[in-house]
Structure 1
């Protein structure tokens, strides 16, 4: 399995809009991608503009397909101006 961890810091005035948009992105991914096994969205309870995404795909190719999806492009374009910072790290699950 291929694991993706993404951390976002969102401009505070866009935190609510980002929350709604990222939850839709998670839902779209799970509904449309057979190889997307998990897509969790978490928020820091002490900083509601800090989000953590935990995603599991069958393999790296499935993640590449995820990033090529139209709804991913729409998500990236819509939230891009709201993002202060973003970091992405990938892992291979071993258990």
Structure 2
């Protein structure tokens, strides 16, 4: 199972990028993949092929009217483990003995 965190935007469009982020998030949400939106990016969970397909679809959603597209991406793969998007946070909370902000 792959956890992939990425942020994608057209850096030449100034400070107001929320419309582009919304366009990308629409692609992600419609994909059916498990995800979590954060203020600094979006985390996807699925097989390598699934998450890379979604990232590619997001790129293609911006490409028609964006001359530049920047992306930061990091990925963690662990064989045979599902629901890591939640279980990694749950494990830390168990060690702390309390809930933390997520």
- Flag structure 1 segments of 5+ consecutive residues without an equivalent: 43-51
The 1:67–1:78 alpha-carbon spacing in structure 2 relative to 1, beyond 3 Å, is same
Name whichever structure is richer in strand by fraction. 1
Residue 14 of structure 2: SS of its match in structure 1? helix
1:29–1:66 Cα contact (<8 Å) kept: yes
Give me the TM-score of the superposition, normalised by structure 1. Answer: 0.58
Question: Any residues of structure 2 matched to 1:24-43 within 5 Å, and which?
Answer: 24-31=23-30, 33-34=31-32, 36-42=33-39
Kindly state the Cα deviation for residue 38 of structure 1 after the two structures are TM-superposed.
Answer: 0.9
Larger radius of gyration: 2
* 5+ residue gaps, structure 2: 78-83, 89-102
Q: Which has the higher contact order (CA 8 A, sep 6+)?
A: 1
RMSD: 2.9
Check 1:58–1:64 CA distance in 2 against 1; reply closer, same or farther (3 A cut): same
Cα distance 1:73–1:8, how it changes in 2: closer, same or farther (>3 A)?
A: closer
Does the Cα contact within 8 Å between 1:26 and 1:41 map onto a contact in 2? no
Where does structure 1 differ by over 3 angstroms across 4 or more consecutive aligned residues? Answer: 7-11, 76-80, 92-95
The residue aligned with 1:63 is: 51
**Partner residue of 1:72 out of 46, 54, 59:** 59
Partner of 2:74: 89
Contact 1:30 1:39 (8 Å CA) reproduced = no
